[in-house]
Amino acid sequence: MPITPATAANSSSNGTSPAILLELVDEQGNTIGTAEKLSAHQAPGRLHRAFSVFLFDEHGRLLLQRRALTKYHSPGVWSNTCCGHPYPGEAPFAAAARRTYEELGVSPSLLAEAGTVRYNHPDPASGLVEQEYNHLFVGMVQSALRPDPEEVGETAFVTPAELTELHGRATFSAWFMTVLDAARPAVRELTGPSGGW
């Protein structure tokens, strides 16, 4: 399981940025308003739209990322390929493709919808709450990664067995197993029965 540290291939602005707004949704995923990103994650959390991406290489291995230590939420933990929030009015598919490129420097290929999942996961370390209506996507990665070190600490391509081993000795995001389990039918369709997912 090769683990690759992120390098400074991409850079992000360190300047003051405007507030990031998220779409608040009801239990059916209908937009009901907006909220500033941090306030939406403060306990008890406000239900908002999110996305999670699972990309695989030609060998059927899942691309994981370890979140950068400077992230305000869940820093330094392993998680799925990419996750985030659409801007208000932005289609989740477009947001997933955009954010994957911003974080990892690659554009996913064969990206496909894999359903939605709703969850409420408090993060004991930060006290923040992931109260999300999450759109799931699976796809392939077919070019070299260029991770942004302000977003990504490390990356790793893992088989199901390697994921089990890593999950037993490393800390993962609170939402990781929920989104992976929800995406498994689409993951199995993408990677085939021999993939073991």
Catalytic residue numbers?
83, 132
Nearest to 79 by CA among 94, 91, 68: 68
Nearest to 5 by CA among 162, 157, 147: 147
Cα-based torsion angle of the residue sequence 133, 188, 156, 12 in order, rounded to the nearest 10 degrees: -40
> CA–CA separation, 42 vs 32, rounded Å?
18
Residues in CB range of 47: below 8 A, 6 or more apart: 24, 25, 26, 27, 118, 131, 132, 133
Q: What Cα–Cα distance (Å) separates residue 43 from each residue in 25, 121, 132? A: 17, 10, 13
